[in-house]
Amino acid sequence: MTNYLLSLQAGLSEIARTVTENSPICVVVQDSHYKEVHVDLQLIVSEIFESRDRPLSKRYDYPATALLSKMNPRARVHLPTRTNTETLLVFR
């Protein structure tokens, strides 16, 4: 999990660095679960961009219906009913 989050931070930091200051950055993110623990990737991504002076300007939430975890019987053991959200995040 640590490696995943460090890689995510490095990738998003590079996007924030290379996109011109006046251009928006649009990212689609789906929250997740690690076993029964909810991982709020929308919040994590927002905090990474905001720490790079790219504030969140818009957020659009949608229910995520196509989840690979629904096909994995081992994932259902940890959390039998999952509700995920897919989100479009727009940063300035």
Mean pLDDT of 34-63: 92
Greater model confidence, 57 or 37: 57
- Helices 41-50 and 2-18: crossing angle, nearest 10°? 40
Centroid of chain to Cα 74: 23
pLDDT digits (tens, 9 = 90+) for 6-40: 999 999 999 999 999 889 999 999 988 777 788 89
- Residue 42 has φ and ψ, to the nearest 5°, of -60, -45
48/50 Cα distance (integer angstroms): 6
3-state secondary structure at position 21: coil
Number of structural domains the chain divides into: 1
Strands 25-30, 32-34: pairing is unpaired
What's the pTM value of the predicted model, to 2 decimals? 0.78
Find the domain containing 74 and state its range: 2-91
